[in-house]
A and B are shown apart, each in its own frame.
Chain A
Amino acid sequence: GEDVEQSLFLSVREGDSSVINCTYTDSSSTYLYWYKQEPGAGLQLLTYIFSNMDMKQDQRLTVLLNKKDKHLSLRIADTQTGDSAIYFCAENRDNYGQNFVFGPGTRLSVLP
């Protein structure tokens, strides 16, 4: 199908790791992105990965990319209450920014 898919909800305990999964559709997408949306705010770019990479680490964030299965994941280590937000994955289906497709978002709840 045409949609980028994500689970809608995830709950974890503070201090645990969170893994948010995403399945995208276009194998030719050059960049894949993770955005974070806190309550009442816009989306902020969290991290991105180029399609010729299979992993990218940035402090507590690890992005894994499986191109064969078109699967993208975001791991947040030592999850904190401030990580509670909606996380969107997105794929850029062309190089001109015209065909940027977002998933429905995963609402991460961090329990104390």
Chain B
Amino acid sequence: NAGVTQTPKFRVLKTGQSMTLLCAQDMNHEYMYWYRQDPGMGLRLIHYSVGEGTTAKGEVPDGYNVSRLKKQNFLLGLESAAPSQTSVYFCASSYGGGYTFGSGTRLTVV
């Protein structure tokens, strides 16, 4: 039982490049979330999903897109990376109560 798995763990992008972060959960959770964590700003919700095929915007959605084609996977895409998107990204899933978090992806945009 792996819980929530994020890939990759680290990535360096050049400004303007694109990439996709993958989150996978094996707990059959309906809800999945993408957060970014920046120093002094805590966790900010980017996008979330309440079930397969559904997505919704969170607090800071601009510059990101998401897809939930399969219940167990939640993908976060950056179409044209900007230095302001340098951050640590966390995926989480839940059944409607407490969240289970992945170990994070550290992304640097240069």
- Using a CB–CB distance below 8 Å, which chain A residues touch chain B? 8, 31, 33, 35, 40-45, 48, 88, 90, 92, 95-98, 100, 102-105
Contacts and interface: CB of A to CB of B under 8 A. Distances in A.
A40 B92 CA distance: 16
Nearest to A94: B96
Given A42-B102, A43-B90, A97 B97 contact: yes
B90 A45 contact: no
Interface stretch (B11-19, B35-43, B60-68, B72-80): B35-43
> Chain B CB within 10 Å — which of A35, A100, A105 has the most?
A100
Given A41-B103, A41-B104, A98-B48, A104 B98 contact: no
B85 interface: no
Interface residues of B, number: 24
Given A42-B104, A104-B41, A98 B31 contact: yes
Contact of A96 (B31, B102, B104): B31
A97 B94 contact: yes
Given A35-B99, A42-B103, A97-B96, 20 more contacts: A8-B40, A31-B97, A33-B98, A41-B103, A42-B102, A42-B104, A45-B98, A45-B99, A45-B100, A48-B97, A88-B43, A90-B99, A97-B50, A97-B94, A97-B97, A97-B99, A98-B48, A100-B33, A102-B42, A104-B41
Contacts of A33: 98
A109 B99 CA distance: 25
Contacts of A45: 98-100
* B56, B95, B100: most-surrounded residue (chain A CB, <10 A): B100
15 contacts: A33-B98, A42-B90, A43-B101, A45-B99, A48-B98, A88-B42, A90-B99, A96-B31, A96-B50, A97-B30, A97-B97, A97-B99, A98-B31, A98-B50, A105-B42
Given A96-B31, A96-B50, A98-B50, A104 B99 contact: no
B8 to A, nearest CB: 15
